[in-house]
Structure 1
Amino acid sequence: MSDGEQAAERRRRWRLVLGGAADESLGAAEGRDGAMDSAMAALYDTPDGTADGRASKRSAGLGGSAPKVARWLGDIREYFPSTVVQVMQADAIERLDLTRLLLEPEMLAAVEPDVHLVGTLLSLNRVMPDAARETARQVVRTVVEELERRVAQPTRAAVTGALNRAARVSRPRHADIDWDRTIRANLRHYVPEHRTVIPERMVGFGRRGSAVRRDVVLCVDQSGSMASSVVFSGVFAAVLASMRSLRTSLVVFDMAVVDLTDQLADPVEVLFGTQLGGGTDINRAIAYSQQLITRPRDSIFVLISDLYEGGVREEMLRRVAEMTTAGVQVVALLALSDEGAPAYDHENAAALAELGVPAFACTPDAFPDLMAAAIERRDLRAFAGRRTDPGNA
């Protein structure tokens, strides 16, 4: 590319960045650039024709017309990559108050499905008309199936490996001997004249069969700020519930508590069983969850919440202390999402840390390894510092 062509490309890019305010100095955008510029202007220019306070020659905005918004959604999917489309959709819902239009099937059919959109749809679940409900379910199912493809195999592999390691015994029955590990553990006992290893210590697995080896209770805050975490939690709960060696329960809460365990065969039904929004009573949710824990030393309790407690704080902390004393492996996640460190109650996070329960944010990609660490009862404080987002208490 010549110097002149490089300069022209720089002008073109700056014109798209600056919008219509740069028409006089950089020239008007034309052709495909003009279409891209119009799509961005409809979202980011203000209704009086200004963008960030700068004068613009064109008016902007999507108005309240579902057909107009649907065409705009189609345009941005044509002109921008999927990751950019998802950001623009989220901005449109927030900046232009399009939540009402999301209740119309025409709009839902035009959107790019993603986790944030699912969270918005779930928050509208109670007011969604029947005409839009089936389309909304298809949008949610598309996202859920994609998330399952992303997390199912790593989760099953990590959990199965951890359960196998936790079940190893030093005096296994012949059928349960882990020969690979037994040989490696006894290499120093190799006898050259016999060309063999004479093991002094056998390594093996406990008898696995189909017995349930761990109980897992996921207790998920469904306040509005936890929308993405609710989506990921529902998918992970369904994956864990599909494993015979685990007994998985899913409890969601705001000021009330709902047990969704019987719906775990279908994560879409799980998500539509949530009610995003409302207050938060963590103490009540933990009290209910305690009733589900019958084998403390074989149980993992995962609290997913930003820890803003609307219930009785002292009782909440007392219940956590009771569980840890009884031998329950307690995990506190401030978020389970790709969004990084969330806003959270620092005082409650610090109080949990004093009880030996560090509170930290976790990405979905790190969650399988976190569950493996919990099954093996490793120090989760060290795990939090190594493997998760920097939201540590």
Structure 2
Amino acid sequence: MVLGGDAGADGTGWALSGRDAAVDGALAALYGDREAPRPGRDRTAGLGASAPSVVRWLGDIRTYFPSPVVRVLQRDAIDRLGLGALLLEPELLEAVEADVHLVGTLLSLSRAMPETTRETARAVVRRVVDDLAKRLAARTRTALTGALDRGARTARPRHRDIDWNRTIAANLRHYLPGHGTVVPERLVGHARAARSVRKEIVLCVDQSGSMAASVVHASVFGAVLASLRAVRTRLVVFDTQVADLTDRLDDPVDVLFGTRLGGGTDINRALAYCQDRITRPAETIVVLISDLYEGGTRDGTLRRVAAMRAAGVRFVTLPALSDEGTPAYDREHAAALAELGVPVFACTPDRFPEVMAAAIEDRPLPVPNRT
């Protein structure tokens, strides 16, 4: 986008006024030359080093641009101008357009956050988490409840357990043309899953800095899964250390503030922790969410995954759980996992319920881009 500037400076030959000049100034503050003012220019680029100036700029861009553009501008401001530290100011946090990327930045700063800012930061994170939960929770519960209930067929299902498509197909010979209906002499439905075959789901999540969006989504999904009585969910996050956040799953915000974004990666160590806590391999699904850049022992990771699969564990690897497009990940490591029969593919949050439902039913996964 080219808005203008004088002929000597920007070469457009157009001078701006009113709203156009204000929009141009807001963009120049972020993308303009902050090192050397050009001759003939009376405008200056940059946001300054104070929270009040940034708050004014945030108000400007919210006035001039739609929310998706505002979020991009905020992200660029944090990256280009080093405004991460200013997010520790409560008045600035109250002015930002909250999204998953901002949550990731806040989590990376959480250990340097003063108490005066912490509650404001939690409120910002909660807004994002609540929005994600509204979008994803119902779909997840529907998909997984259906998968868990499709255990055994029964000819005497309760009304809510009737499989109407199969019931109609089984009774087509009883179609009454005069009434335009099928008489269902035989019902086909699903028996309720027994307690003894309750599935175990282990989410093993890499909390290195590049995985911030995936950590946010995994925390929300972990809380939703934990609310389903028919599954038992464990959430493990790791860098070079391992943290079990299962006892915080009733509140994904607590989960997120229990993470520590950044640092190294030891996948083998994290999987060793998970493996030691698997008591029913045939009923267990392990979902490794990691970019697979192993700082530990790659051969040890592969041996551990092979051992879990041999014991009956269903294993899935997601290099990303986010809407950010094709992720960067260790493709050589991904290929080695694929040779062990482990599906490796990036997954958007909208597809995750379908992936988990397929894993629970032990059917082929909906893999959009197989590694």
TM-score, normalised relative to structure 2? 0.91
- 1:180 is displaced (CA, Å) by 3.0
Q: 1:301 to 1:127 in 2, by over 3 A?
A: same
Question: How many angstroms apart in 2 are the aligned matches of 1:236 and 1:181?
Answer: 30
Pairing partner for 1:236 from 216, 221, 233: 221
In structure 2, the partner of 1:144 is 129
- 1:143 is displaced (CA, Å) by 0.5
Question: How many angstroms apart in 1 are the aligned matches of 2:48 and 2:175?
Answer: 83
- 1:369 is displaced (CA, Å) by 0.8
On the 8 A contact 2:168/2:184 being kept in 1, the answer is no
Matched, 1:104 2:95: no
- 1:276 is displaced (CA, Å) by 0.2
In structure 1, the partner of 2:171 is 187
Question: How many angstroms apart in 1 are the aligned matches of 2:261 and 2:243?
Answer: 12
Q: Secondary structure at the match of 1:331?
A: strand
On the 8 A contact 1:353/1:359 being kept in 2, the answer is yes
Question: How many angstroms apart in 2 are the aligned matches of 1:77 and 1:157?
Answer: 36
In structure 1, the partner of 2:52 is 67
Question: How many angstroms apart in 2 are the aligned matches of 1:50 and 1:331?
Answer: 53
On the 8 A contact 2:315/2:343 being kept in 1, the answer is no
Matched, 1:384 2:367: yes
Letter in 2 for 1:264: L
Q: 1:206 to 1:19 in 2, by over 3 A?
A: farther
In structure 1, the partner of 2:74 is 89
- 1:356 is displaced (CA, Å) by 0.6
Question: How many angstroms apart in 1 are the aligned matches of 2:51 and 2:319?
Answer: 36
Matched, 1:284 2:269: yes
Q: 1:179 to 1:342 in 2, by over 3 A?
A: closer
Question: How many angstroms apart in 2 are the aligned matches of 1:100 and 1:88?
Answer: 17
- 1:290 is displaced (CA, Å) by 1.2
Letter in 1 for 2:334: A
Identity percentage over the alignment? 60
Q: 1:302 to 1:15 in 2, by over 3 A?
A: closer
On the 8 A contact 2:197/2:283 being kept in 1, the answer is no
Correspondence list, 1:312-327, <5 A? 312-327=297-312
On the 8 A contact 2:290/2:319 being kept in 1, the answer is yes
Supply the RMSD in Å over aligned alpha carbons. Answer: 2.4
Q: 1:180 to 1:281 in 2, by over 3 A?
A: same
- Greater Cα shift, 140-149 or 103-112: 103-112
Matched, 1:164 2:149: yes
Q: Secondary structure at the match of 1:42?
A: helix
Question: How many angstroms apart in 2 are the aligned matches of 1:183 and 1:111?
Answer: 53
Q: Secondary structure at the match of 2:243?
A: strand
Q: Deviations over 1:111-151 (max 9, x none)?
A: 11010000000001111111111110011001001111110
Q: Secondary structure at the match of 1:343?
A: coil
Question: How many angstroms apart in 1 are the aligned matches of 2:291 and 2:40?
Answer: 41
Matched, 1:40 2:24: no
On the 8 A contact 1:168/1:203 being kept in 2, the answer is no
Q: Secondary structure at the match of 2:319?
A: strand
After the TM superposition, which segments of 4 or more aligned residues of structure 1 sit over 6 Å from their partners?
Answer: 209-212
On the 8 A contact 1:86/1:112 being kept in 2, the answer is yes
Question: How many angstroms apart in 1 are the aligned matches of 2:184 and 2:121?
Answer: 62
Q: 1:114 to 1:302 in 2, by over 3 A?
A: same
On the 8 A contact 1:218/1:301 being kept in 2, the answer is yes
Letter in 2 for 1:238: A
Q: Secondary structure at the match of 1:293?
A: coil
Aligned pairs, number: 364
Letter in 2 for 1:384: V
Q: Secondary structure at the match of 2:141?
A: helix
- 1:314 is displaced (CA, Å) by 1.1
Q: 1:244 to 1:197 in 2, by over 3 A?
A: closer
Letter in 1 for 2:267: I
Q: Secondary structure at the match of 1:112?
A: coil
In structure 1, the partner of 2:345 is 360
On the 8 A contact 1:189/1:198 being kept in 2, the answer is no
Q: Secondary structure at the match of 1:336?
A: coil
Q: Secondary structure at the match of 2:164?
A: helix
Letter in 1 for 2:220: V
Letter in 1 for 2:275: Q
On the 8 A contact 2:5/2:12 being kept in 1, the answer is no
Question: How many angstroms apart in 2 are the aligned matches of 1:88 and 1:212?
Answer: 49
In structure 1, the partner of 2:14 is 27
| Structure 2, gaps ≥5 residues long | 177-181
Q: Deviations over 1:261-286 (max 9, x none)?
A: 00010110000000000000000111
In structure 1, the partner of 2:138 is 153
Q: Deviations over 1:350-375 (max 9, x none)?
A: 01000111211111111111111111
Q: 1:29 to 1:126 in 2, by over 3 A?
A: same
Q: Secondary structure at the match of 2:346?
A: strand
On the 8 A contact 2:6/2:12 being kept in 1, the answer is no
- 1:191 is displaced (CA, Å) by 9.2
